[in-house]
Amino acid sequence: MKIKLSKLWDTLHSSYWFVPTIMAIVAISLAFTTLSLDRAGTAPIEKFGWIYTGGPDGARSLLSTVAGSMISVAATAFSITIVALQLASANFGPRLLRNFMQDTGNQIVLGTFIGTFIYCLLVLRTIHGEDYNIFVPQLSVTVVIVLAIASIGVLIYFIDHASTIIQASHIISEVSADLKDAINRLFPEKIGHSVTQHKRSFGEIPANFDSEACPIKANGSGYLQSIDDKKLMQIACQHNLLVRLKYRPGKFVVQGSDLVMVLPGERVNRKLSDRINDAFILGKERNEQQDVEFPINQLVEIALRAISPAVNDPFTAIRCIDRLSVGLSHLAQKDFPSPYRYDDDNNLRVIAPGVTFAGLADAAFNQIRQYSTSDVAVTIRLLEAIAVIAPYTRNKEARSALLRHADMIQRGSLEGVSEELDRACVEERYQLAVKALQQ
């Protein structure tokens, strides 16, 4: 249930209608509240000199002006937002659109304009100017003035904010923050972190697993966004099963493909199949909820677009490499969980394929290395990044993965760089990276 609620919140947070709708409802509630106070005559008008005291014609004119201005500004804000999304998609990649859609500042700005417009309409309809039934909601009109002044401040903020969020440095920083959050959430334990654990007698995978396990097919297609591990463990314990997952979060699942393998296979039925499928959350796009590789791919995509011949912006690529080095430095200090999951009685229940440091290093370096063999500045920064990450590595496998990438970068530069002095600079950084990995 928690995974589904998290998925629902992520969907709502990534939309431009949720926050404006909430703010519109607040505006409606505020309008009815202030109008009730005006009708009851309990508003302390005499105590405050700044309360609106004009007649019905002036109130109508004021409300009409504010309402017309708000809907015009809201339309302009929507247009600017759409243009920003188009620029982001063209310059940084369509995968980055989700980050812009999640920007709370833009959502609040749009909600403020729409809420103020709705409030003005609701108050405007209550004003009566006939001699026998004159009613001017003075407190409500005063609130409109306050909302209009606040909207001016919000508009100034929006102009500054819209010009900031499309800058490459801001986008890279936001994606890097997502990567850091994903690392801390998915890998909470550090290497060497002392945790009191009960001794377990770990069993082995049964020898007949591959021959006797029964596959459970996927009910739908899409990217595997998250897995409800608690529910999956509960099902495995309830039916005394051993479940091996075929996919990890971030992978694309085709409807009808083998989602999991279950032993003993004779216990598989339609109800069990549906329950296990319900523990897998599929979606149209990847997200970083349980997929730490996704923000790494986003940074790599920005870097690749930057070093493409059409853009030729190595400085942006270098910024991405710097952020990747920060993320990999954090990952190198984390304890990657075992793929074997046991119940409270030390029975092996779930085998889940996980990520490794070597695999994440491949995701971070491979494509940038392949597309930058002739770019000396990017090649040098890749080697410098490996030298930066090296002191944080605590095991031989991680250092071997980094050394493998350093070797490939050095060999690629021999083929892609023609100038001898540039090759010497690359060789110098390579030797520094190797030295850092050997310490």
Residue pair 359/331 in contact (Cβ under 8 Å)? The answer is no
pLDDT at 113 > cutoff 50: yes
β-pair type (280-283, 258-263): unpaired
Distance CA 53, CA 355 (A): 67
Q: The pTM is what?
A: 0.84
Pick the most confident of 66-75, 343-352, 414-423.
66-75
Domain residue spans in the chain?
Answer: 2-166, 209-283, 292-337+355-438
Whether 200 shows a pLDDT value over 50: the answer reads no
Q: The domain 209-283: what is its CATH number?
A: 3.90.1170.30
* 126 pLDDT tier (thresholds 50, 70, 90): confident
Q: Indicate the range of 7-21, 234-248, 323-337, 382-396 predicted with least confidence.
A: 7-21
Bond preceding residue 206 cis, omega within 30 of 0:
no
Q: Identity (one letter) of the amino acid at 153?
A: G
Question: How far is Cα 366 from Cα 373, in angstroms, rounded to an integer?
Answer: 11
At what angle are helices 56-92 and 104-124 packed, to 10 degrees?
A: 160
Residue 22, amino acid: I
- Please name the residue ranges forming H helices in 239-356: 270-278, 293-306, 314-332
Q: What angle do helix axes 138-165 and 104-124 make, rounded to 10 degrees?
A: 160
DSSP 202-246: -----TTHHHH-EEEE-SS-EEEEEE-HHHHHHHHHHTT-EEEES
pLDDT value of position 49: 55
With H, G, I as helix, E, B as strand and everything else as coil, classify residue 342.
Answer: strand
Which phi-psi region, left, alpha or beta, contains residue 244 (left: φ > 0; alpha: ψ -120 to 50)? beta
DSSP character for 190? B
Q: What is the mean pLDDT of the chain?
A: 86
Most confident of 44-48, 119-123, 289-293: 119-123
Pick the closest to residue 98 from 1, 174, 22 (CA basis). Answer: 174
Give exposure, 235-264, as e/b (b: 16+ Cβ within 10 Å): bbeebebbbbbbbbbbeebeeeebbbbbbe
Which of 64-68, 94-98, 167-171 shows the lowest per-residue confidence on average (mean pLDDT)?
94-98
* Contact criterion met (CB below 8 Å) for 108 and 19: yes
Are 92 and 172 spatial neighbours (Cβ–Cβ below 8 Å)? no
Whether 165 shows a pLDDT value over 60: the answer reads yes
**For residue 156, what pLDDT is reported?**
93
Helix axes 168-186, 314-332, angle to 10 degrees: 10
What DSSP line would sit under 48-77, residue for residue? -TTS----HHHHHHHHHHHHHHHHHHHHHH
Residue 202's pLDDT band, with cuts at 50, 70 and 90, is very low
CB 74 within 8 A of CB 115: no
Pairing of strands 222-227, 214-217: unpaired
CA nearest to 225, candidates 164, 282, 148, 279: 282
The pLDDT confidence band at residue 407, using thresholds 50, 70 and 90, is: very high
pLDDT in tens, 294-311: 999 999 999 999 998 888
